[in-house]
Amino acid sequence: MKKFDIAIIGGGPGGYSLAVILANNGKNVALFESNALGGTCVNRGCIPTKTILKSAKIRQLMSNSDKYGFESSHTFNLEKVFENARNNSKKLQQAIKGALEGAGVSVFNQEAKLLSKNIIKTENNEIYADKIVLATGSRPRKIQIEGIEKANVYTSDDLILDYHDFDELTIIGGGVIALEFASFYANFDKKITIIESNNQLFGNFDESIRDAVNSIIQRDKINIITNAKVLKYETDGLLIQQGETISKHKTQNILLAVGRIVNNDSFSELNLEKYDNGVLKVNEFFQTSEENIYAIGDLNAIMMLSTSAYKQGDVVAKHILHQKSDEKFVKSNIPFAIYTNPDISFVGKSEKELESAKIEFESAQVFAKNLPRAHANLDFEIGFVKINYEKNTYKILSATIFLEDSATLINQIALAISKDMTIFDLQNSAFTHPTLAESVYYISRNIAFSKKS
C-alpha cells in the first residue's frame, strides 16, 4: 500500500493549489481527480464563462461602435465564442498539470473513495495518508418538473461544454449564474426570460446590488417573471402560477439555475458530522469531526467561490505545515463579483448584517456620470461606487462597485477592510488620474473634508 503525508480528493482551485503548496514545502502529496484538472472553475465555471462574457462585452461595444467614430457592419459566430472557452480550459488544464508535476505531486486520474479516516480506495489501488483534504466541489442542482423532458433542458455545465443554438431561453432561478447567462445571451440577440420564485431578484442582497442588477436587466431587455411557481411543462411552454393566476410562458429551451449541491459521494462511508442540509461541519482550520480530515471550497458551502477555496486552502496549508500565522478565513473579507457588463462587485458585511449587529454606519456614493474617466470612455450612463463606513470610527465596512472592471477595483476595498482601514487611510493615498479607481478617492476625500472637527 502506497503511503502519503497528505492526500487531496479534488483537483479544483482549492485542491490543486494546496497540493502544490504542500509539495513545495517537502510533503509527499497525492491528488485524486476523476475528471479534468481545474474542477468546475477551469472547465465549466469561472474561466469558460468569463471567456464567453468577454465576447459579449465586445459584442455590446461593437453594437455601439458609431459613438466611438466607427461606421461598419459586424457579424458574430457564437459557435466560435464557445470554442474559445473550451480551448482556454484545455490550456489551463495543461498549466495545472505542469505545476503539479513540477512540485512532485502524485496525480491519480481516478475516482477516489474514503474507506476510513486514513485509507483511500480507487479502482485499482488502496492508499494510506496521514491527512486527507476533501475538495470535491459542487454540481448544478436539478429539479423535477412534470413534462420538462419535452423541452430542451440545460444546466450551466451543458451550455459551456457543448454549443447549443436557440433564439430564446428561459432561465429558472434568479441568482448569479442566471444573470450572467441571461446577460450573455441577450447581448447576442436572444430573447431571455428569468423566472424567479421570490418577489425580486437578489432579494437577500443590499439594495445597491439590486439597483445594479436592475440596470443590467433593463438595458439588456431581459424579461423577468417574479413570485412565480413553475407547475409543469406542456407541449410548447411552462405553466406558471403567480398568486391565484395560472398562465403559460411559451418556451422550448430551459436553463436550470436553481443553485448547486455539494459532491459528497467520496466520503459517504464515514460518519463525518454534517448539518441538516448534508453539508460538512468544519472548524476554523477546516477540520471535520475527524481532525486529520479537512474540507475546503464548495464542499463546506461557507462561500461557493474559487476565491474562497484558495483562501481556505491557505489556512489548511499553514495548519498542516505548523506555520505560525494569525490568518483566519473571514467570510466578509472575501470579495465577489457578478460578471455582467459592467461587473457588479461587493465586499464586506451587508447592510442587513450591520443592522443586526447594531453597528451604526453611514454611506457615501459616487456615480459613473461624476467620473472623468467614465466620460472619457463614453460610458457613464450606468454605474456607481458605494462605501459603507462606521459612524464614529470611519472604519470601512463594505462596498459595492458597479463599474467597468470592478471585479479588480473591489480588491483594494477588500484589503482595506481586512486591515481595519478607515476612510482617512483611503484619502491619504494617491490614485492615478483619470481612472475609475479614483472613484474611491473622490468618496474618501469628500468625507474627510466634510468631517466636523
pLDDT in tens, 379-393: 999 999 999 999 999
CATH number of 332-448: 3.30.390.30
The Cα 106–Cα 8 span in angstroms is 10
Instruction: Please determine, for residue 276, whether its predicted confidence score (pLDDT) is greater than 90.
Output: no
367 three-class SS: strand
Whether residue 176 is annotated as binding a ligand: the answer is yes
Whether residue 30 is annotated as binding a ligand: the answer is no
82 three-class SS: helix
Q: Which of 164, 249, 375, 433 is catalytic?
A: 433
Q: Are 198 and 227 in contact (CB under 8 A)?
A: yes
The Cα 427–Cα 439 span in angstroms is 11
Per-residue pLDDT at 73 = 72
Whether residue 102 is annotated as binding a ligand: the answer is no
Residue 380 cell numbers, joined: 457613464
Whether residue 178 is annotated as binding a ligand: the answer is yes
pLDDT in tens, 304-354: 999 999 999 999 999 999 999 889 999 999 999 999 999 999 999 999 999
Interval 275-304 mean pLDDT: 95
Residue 34 cell numbers, joined: 476523476
Sign, Cα dihedral of 44, 50, 53, 55: negative
Residue 301 cell numbers, joined: 458551502
Whether residue 239 is annotated as binding a ligand: the answer is no
Whether residue 196 is annotated as binding a ligand: the answer is yes
Q: Say what the alpha-carbon torsion angle 378, 383, 389, 391 is, to the nearest 10 degrees.
A: 100
Residue 412 cell numbers, joined: 483594494
Distances in whole angstroms, Cα of residue 421 to Cα of each of 334, 397, 398, 408, 424: 16, 9, 11, 19, 8
Distances in whole angstroms, Cα of residue 392 to Cα of each of 353, 361, 452: 18, 8, 12
Instruction: Please determine, for residue 277, whether its predicted confidence score (pLDDT) is greater than 90.
Output: no
Query: β-strands 168-172, 253-256: how paired?
Result: parallel
Which amino acid is located at 401 in the chain? I
Q: Are 108 and 32 in contact (CB under 8 A)?
A: yes
Whether residue 37 is annotated as binding a ligand: the answer is no
pLDDT in tens, 132-163: 999 999 999 999 999 999 999 999 999 999 99
Whether residue 50 is annotated as binding a ligand: the answer is yes
6 phi/psi in degrees, rounded to 5:
-135, 135
Per-residue pLDDT at 452 = 57
**pLDDT confidence bin for 124, thresholds 50/70/90:** confident
Residue indicated by cell numbers 477551469: 42
Interval 440-449 mean pLDDT: 96
Whether residue 179 is annotated as binding a ligand: the answer is yes
Sign, Cα dihedral of 180, 184, 190, 191: positive
Query: Taking the CB of residue 260, how many other CB atoms lie within 10 A of it?
Result: 20
Per-residue pLDDT at 243 = 94
Per-residue pLDDT at 451 = 65
Residue indicated by cell numbers 503511503: 3
CA-nearest of 21, 44, 17, 97 to 309 is: 17
Per CATH, which fold does 148-258 belong to?
A: FAD/NAD(P)-binding domain (3.50.50)
Interval 64-79 mean pLDDT: 87
What percentage of residues in the chain have a pLDDT greater than 90? 92
CA-nearest of 236, 251, 301 to 275 is: 301
Distances in whole angstroms, Cα of residue 163 to Cα of each of 38, 79, 137: 21, 6, 24
129 three-class SS: strand
DSSP 281: P
CATH number of 2-139+261-329: 3.50.50.60
Taking each helix axis from N to C end, the angle separating 46-63 and 176-186, rounded to the nearest 10 degrees, works out to 40
386 phi/psi in degrees, rounded to 5:
-130, 130
**pLDDT confidence bin for 72, thresholds 50/70/90:** confident
Residue 283 cell numbers, joined: 472548524
Cβ neighbours of residue 321 closer than 8 Å, sequence gap 6 or more: 22, 25, 27
Whether residue 57 is annotated as binding a ligand: the answer is no
**pLDDT confidence bin for 1, thresholds 50/70/90:** confident
Cβ neighbours of residue 271 closer than 8 Å, sequence gap 6 or more: none
Distances in whole angstroms, Cα of residue 436 to Cα of each of 131, 208, 212, 269, 402: 46, 18, 17, 52, 10
Instruction: Please determine, for residue 453, whether its predicted confidence score (pLDDT) is greater than 60.
Output: no
**pLDDT confidence bin for 34, thresholds 50/70/90:** very high
Q: What is the helix, strand, coil percentage profile of the chain, to 5?
A: 35, 25, 40
Q: Are 359 and 375 in contact (CB under 8 A)?
A: no
Q: Say what the alpha-carbon torsion angle 263, 269, 272, 276 is, to the nearest 10 degrees.
A: 60
Query: Would the CATH topology of 2-139+261-329 be identical to that of 332-448?
Result: no
Query: pLDDT averaged over the chain?
Result: 95
pTM above 0.85, yes or no: yes
Task: Parse the chain into domains and list their residue ranges.
Answer: 2-139+261-329, 148-258, 332-448
Q: Are 421 and 396 in contact (CB under 8 A)?
A: yes
Assess whether 375 carries a catalytic annotation.
no
End-to-end CA distance of the chain, in Å?
Answer: 71
DSSP 358: T
CA-nearest of 346, 401, 340 to 374 is: 401
